[in-house]
Each structure stands twice: as C-alpha cells, then as structure tokens.
Structure 1
C-alpha cells in the first residue's frame, strides 16, 4: 500500500505541473536529456572514449562490421528461374488490384490510424503533427504518398532513417550493450502500410504452406514443435494415442500428451489410402477408438496387431474378417461397423485428420470459441452485463464491480455465514453490520463519495445496488457522459473496497475527500487516453472536454 502510494506521487505531480512551462517540467527535460545522452564509450581495450567524433567513428565501424557489406559475388535469380521453381501466378483480377493507386480516402485513413506517441524520423514530424494539421498539410501529404505509387521513387528525405541506440542494460558503455532501432519518417510508414495491404492479398497463396512465419492464420510454434519432437524421435513408429510420454520428451511434450484424452473425442480420421491411419487407435469409424471400445482386447481377439494401420486389415482387397464365422460378439461388432472396403481400396488420397466439435461437420480449422461453447454450459445472460463489461473500461475496476454484482467479495456478513469469527461491524463507519448494500451505498463514508459525484452529474440513482447496474445501462443520449458515469461508478466501487481493506490489513485510513481526489485523478488520466483515441474522428467532442464540463474544470 505504502509503496503503491509512493509510486503514484510522481504521476500525480506530472499531471499537475508537467503540462506547463514550470521548473519541474524543465528539470524533467534536462534529466531525460542527461539520461539519453551517451557521454562515453569503452573501446575494445576497455578504455573510456569521451571525444564525440571518436564515439561516432566507433559506432559507424561497429555497426558496419555487424551489418556487413553488399555481396557483389551473388547474382540474383532471373524471373524465368523463379517461375521454374515457384508455381504461384497472379490472376488478372489480382494484378489489377495490386497496380491500383491508393485513393485519397485510403491514404488519409492510414495517416489517422497511425500509432500515437511514437519517436519521429529525421524530419521530426510524428503522426500527431499530420493529424492535427491535416487541413493545412493533408493535400501535400497525400500527393507525397501517391508520388511513390505512380513513379516508384521516394524522396530521399522521406526514405532517410534515424538509428537510435537503446541500452539493453542500465549503465551501458559498450556498443554491444546497445540495440539499434530505426526511426522512420511518417510518410515512409504510411507507404509501408499501404504496401502491406497489397501483400496481404496474395501472401497466403504465394508462400508455401510449410512456411508459417508472418502469415496470418499460421503459427510458427507448429513447425517448432513438430521439428523438435521429430528430430529427437519421440514418435518413431508409435501412434500418438498409444505412446508412453513419461519415458522421454520435453516438458511441453509431456504436458501436451496429458491432454490427449480431452482432445481425443474431437479428432477424427478421414481414411483415404489407409496407409497411415491406425486401425485400433485412430477414430476412423463411427464407433471411435476400436482399442478403447474393446477395452484393449481387440488385437488379441482378432489377431490384428495393435500397431496395424487400416491398410493392414485389408486382405485380397477385402476386410480380413469377412470370411470369419466366429460368434464372438467383439468380432461380430467389427464386421458390422467396418465401412465399405471398396472405397478405401480405390482411394488414392492421403489419410486426413480433422476436428469435429459436437454435431458440426468435420473440418481442418480449429475454432476456440466453438470448442469453448461445446465444453462449457451456457449460463443465462444477466441484464446488467453492459454496465460492467464495456469498451473503454479499466480492467481491475470492472473486475471488482463484477465481483460486487455477483456478491462474491469477502464482506463480513458472508464471512460470518462461512463460520469465521469476525466482528459484523462495517470497517468504514462502525455503526452498522457490513454487507454489500451497506458497504457500497448505505454507509456514511460511501454516501459522502457518491454525494460528491452525484452533485457533479446532477443525478439521483436508485438506492439498491442491482437497480443501479440496470440504471447505468443507458442514462443519457450523450455517449461520453454515459461512459464517464460508468467509469466513475466502477472507480468508486474499487476505491471504497480498497479503502475498506486498507483499514482491515494496514490500519491506515483516508478521509472521504482524499478518495474524491484520487478517483478524479485516475479518471482524468483515463479521459486523456480515451480522448487521444478520438482524434481520428472528425468533429467529435472529446471525453476530456466532457469531463471538464461536468466537473467545471477550466
């Protein structure tokens, strides 16, 4: 608690004094300049070098050696050679899309969606400059981007890059302890994003399926896991469902194997040539795993080995049991459940493993949401969920509000019902028994908090907690006011609960007036973040201006 308050004090002072030309602001600027400057570097002998020209020469030589030079001995492949080794070809429709010049609206949208608060390039103009001054520089910025797509050339100043050195460790004084980061101009970044949109049109088709890096929908970890396990020979000739993972393998492999029984009902095998599907362990019939179906007795009763594939069960283009006269119920079950052998004998396709969730048709794609909905029961939807989980919420505040709504906080009335011997009195007022309703609404301390904010909004909420949640869903037509109200209520719930626990565990207390101030500072910082996100929307009243209007802040 004490440490948290100590960490918040610099932030509070910055909110109060950091946005003005104060001594505090200039001290911070000087401190940052001193922190970011490289005063000296050590050379290969460990000698400190203070001369700035020598430092520049050391950096240039180090990174030139690190990055290497252009190799003039390598001859690039011709277009014809590339065509011979790669089957992908552009369609006429795709070629037309790729050669289209971006429209003014597309270019403007990319400018306005650029990340904020990023280091600028050599020209010193970050994305915020273009957004705030769009009426003045917008047309020229659009023409600068279009020039690249029409001529294939970019102005050298736009293509220039500042290489900043970021220390890997505190007190870095050797070049190997710095990480070079390229700071590009905003126009360059916009062009790169537009090119990326073009690449997305054909990259999944042009890049072979065994290449999984940087392609949407493909996971690099798939190849990593596959390569690591195959190289060490975990599987060999064993079947995934039958192998004993405890004998060897990495921790991640053993963890995955522990989930086999959970995943098994959802993995089905579509038999093609039948040369890889396990007859006993894979789910290739309508009955699931035949090995589990017979409690492990199937191989012994039928004479077909446990490691047999489906193709091994075909003798003279028919099932090996077709002429059996055995009355054993297991043998009879096999004969009645095996599919038509003629389709398998004639098939030239590979065996294929698919995901099947519930009654859905098997497919190659795995859906997390579909699996979750299948495994877990759907609870009835509550009417107040939009008052807790909404866009722009502060996660920890929303979580506490959710627990309050479900009455899952350890208030003293609940603790006494659990048989724990504690005083029933409220920790904030000591005048009534502590419960959810009393702690957050009926307590005199909480009433002071609510009175402060209610007077600012000029509203009178209902007296009961659950009624308040439903009341918050849509108070006014002003979306800014609605969001600010929800954030204020959640922050108040959070801070009241935090103050209650501070008195219980640390015997420290704050007056209600201090809680007002702390809640306002938290929400003021949140309004600032939300307002920056609104810059992309034209003619919009920001959250921050609405906040100032509500609380008469000028």
Structure 2
C-alpha cells in the first residue's frame, strides 16, 4: 500500500512537469500560432508558404482539440461528447457549476449574516463540530445481546474470502471516469485508461487492505465540498457535505448494492426495500449484461447512439417545425360504437382499413414523415403552401378541392368544413347509410391518397410500380437442417402483457433432427421484443454452458437476427443483451440464422402455455404434441 501511494505521488509530480514543458499554456500557445498564421497568410501564395500555412493550421486544430478535451473533463458533463467544438458549452458549464457551489455569505443560527472568509470558516467549523460531537463511549453489550444474528456462516465465508483481480477491475470500471478527483488529483479516467500498466500495483494494494493490513492515512484524506440542496441557500442546513475521496479509496468501498454478483441478476428484496412494488418490478425487467459490458449513455436520434451538435440541431429544428404546424389539436377519443360501425360496413375491406388509417392518422403524409425523422420538410409537394396533413391532402389542398368540386358524388360534402378527419367521421356516422355513400366517399379519398403518393415519386418509379407482379422464388416453409458436423439450437419466447412475464423455450438438435437437450424457464420482461432478446442470449449461454462450438442458432425474429450479425446500435432496451450475444457468438463461433415460424414450431410450443405441464424428463420423453412436431421436422431434414 505504501509503495503504491509513493508511486502515485512521484507520478503526479512527473506528469505536472511533463505537461508544463510539453503543452504549456493553451491560451498563449493558441495566440502565438494565430499570429504566425496571420503573418504567413499575408505572404505570396507560393507552394512553400502554403505548406507552412497548412502546418500551422494543423497545429491550431491540435491545440483546440486539447483545450476542448480539458474543458470537457473539468465541466463534469458526462452525457456530451467532445469533438464538435463544444468548448464554449463546456466552459459555460464549468463556470455555472463554480458559481452555484460558491459560498459568499452565511446566516447563523441567531439570524446574523457572515460575509468574510474568516467568519464563514468559523461558522462552518462550529456547525459541524456540534453535529459530530462525541459524548464518550457507551456500553452497548446489553442491547446487542438481544439483537439476533443476521449473518450466516455461508455469508461470513463469502465475506472473508480473498478479493479477486477481476472484481477489482469491475469495481474500477463501474465508477465515473470524470468524477471530481480527490486530494491525489487522479480521476477514474487515469485508472481505466492505463489499467494494463497499473493493474499489478493496484490489485496488490487493494488485496493488502482486505487481507487485514491498515489503510494509509494519506490515502484516506478527503476534500469536503458543500453542495447546495436548494436553489438559493442561505444557512448551512441548506448544504449537503460531499467527500471527494481518492479514487483508490473508492475502489475499496465500491459495492454493487442492488445487483447479485453471483447470478448477475437484480436483487429483488433490496429493490423492494427502497422502491415501491411497481417500480421494483419495472427495474427488474431491465436486462443486465453478463459479459461485463460497460454502462453508457445513448442519444436516441442518431444511428450510433452518440450525441453530436448536428443531430441536436436537427432534433430542435424538427420540434420547432412541428410546434408551428397549422393542424388543430384534438383530444377526441372515439367511442367503441364508431369502430363497430366502421368494421360492420358493407364496403370492401381495403376501404375499411384505409378509413381506419385516416381516423388514426396512420398515413405516411409529409407531416407524419417529419415527425418520424423520415423527411426534411412537412410542406405539401403539390401546392407548396401548407403542411401536408391528412386533412390537407384529402380535403383542403387546391388539387383535392378540384377533385371534389368536379365529382358527381360530392353532394353535401364540403371539404372546407373538415378540420379533423376523425371528428368528421364521428359526426357523419349518423347521416350516412351503411353502404353506397360511405363507399363512394372512401373510394374518392383512397384515390386522392394514391395520386398524392404517386406525385412524390419519379415518373420512372411510378411506371415501374404499375407493372404487373412477376414470379419470385418462394421462401422455404420449413427450416433447413444443419450440416452433419454442426448442431442447431432453436429458441422462442411467449410474453404475457398483464403479468409482465415471459416463458422461453430452447431446444438442441443434430443434423438428423434428434432432440439432444433443451430448457424452459420464466423471466420478467416489459415487451415481447425484450423477451425474445433475453431468450436469444440464454440460447447463447446455453451453448456456452455445454461448451459447444460451431453451432447454428435459429429464430423466427428477423429483427434480432439482423442486429446480432451487424454493427448497428440496437434499441437501448436490448443493448446489453445484443452486446452479450455478439460477444458470445464471436467467442464460440456461433452462426445466427432466421427461419420461418413453421421451422420454429418446436421451440414455440415449449414456450407457449400449452407446455405448462412439462415434466422434468421432457427431453428424454417428449410429450405427444412436441413429439409430433419433432417427427415432422425430422422428416423434412431427411
């Protein structure tokens, strides 16, 4: 422990000296480079001068990047990546935090104000001395005699076991890299970036503490910071003391309170101690990585999940456009009688579905496309004067009005009076007979929609879409057998919305279709997609537990298979699961394949409610329904 602390002390002095000589003051260096650039730019544009100018500009870029990185680390903003020239934002965040934490005066218990440095120091010392006053030792033996033992022998053995290197590394990388450092000046970023260099000394120092040796007083020195608990604090009770410990002490004291490190799952009893039943259930449904994936923050409006100024600008601009749309808002909740009326109409099914999409605002108008970040502008491509909402496309556009005006079936139908397709549909329900007029109006609306979509497409593409469909190869109805030297795992999940639970089924078969092994289990999940991803990871862990390699894993969920074989950033709900799947797949050389539902019936049956009576020996003695499915698949494999 002493040698480790001495090395950190020597390294700190050496790094400060190296930084002073190597980089100097960024502000002074940047000013000198800009003066040199101005001098070179005033010279004739010869090739030698242009080369010198390019070199100076490159040096300026390096200094700016270094300054931005420095301000980013000091700003404590961990959700915003540097690299977009955000120096002004980081500097403003740093100044704002400094002003918020600054104490200029304090109100005493008597109501008097102290605004001098000595007076503020005396008030703080007096306040905390009274709080932590010790009345002397007390005999607690009589009280402790009636306290039952809560630590079992098994728990005591677990607590007394030696600390492993991987546990120390996990604790190091779970803490914030840019949190405020302690008195030694080393943030978590230093330990994480140079772990391979310092892991030997670090692990030895941590193990020496847990083996019974003492902790150096210098390592336990902390800087106390008073953080305001309210916007405008006046007295000391309005502040919360925060200890800025050395990062080495944080490694020792790091404890994952709510995660069971043995099973890698949430500790439900501990969650229920501090949260409500509903909150604990929701948190328990969030999947946790089992391969040591680091926590990260994702930006939902970019494909790679990283924030950039460009993506933030586009998000803000789209929100501004949508806030100024001329479409009136409505909070109409259509009664169930209207939907019964719609679905019972004697009109073609395609008109019913089209009317339902109109009332639900499910058509791909320019306004809806902008809302989903699929278009740059919501303006109507025909008139170019208004945003293309459903009402504008079907009724208000000059092009649509001409169609209604010239139509012989528009009697009594006035497009100008329609502010909401849903409101008009509910109001017109009583006036329409269940047949001809509704059919004619919906056909007219459908024709307007088709022509509106075609007007956005290039002429060649429009003509191509009018061509009759040609023959195409049919997809295989059943899954294909694996090669003779490979095994195949099929998995599926069934999700129960009301209980927020899911059942999963996994089966292992050879190239002849013989059932070799399988599993069925229950998990907590917030959606069917999360349940499918969770069972997908369990299938990979199933192969790892059996030490299987060169195995094919099949599923009828095409989106998960696509995410597992690509580098796309998955939705945050399944990010930990997909990351684990990719790591295990690369480690075991697994192959992931999509199969239609007909080729995944065995796993689907195991995951369904019909398999609730499965016994312990269902792999050796499959139930009759499962046996029939296996025999059918085996006949296809032959």
**Smaller-chain TM-score bracket:** 0.3 to 0.5
| TM-score between the two structures when normalised by the length of structure 2 | 0.32
TM-score (norm 1): 0.37
Of structures 1 and 2, the one scoring higher in RCO (CA 8 A, sep 6+) is 2
- Return the structure number with greater strand share: 2
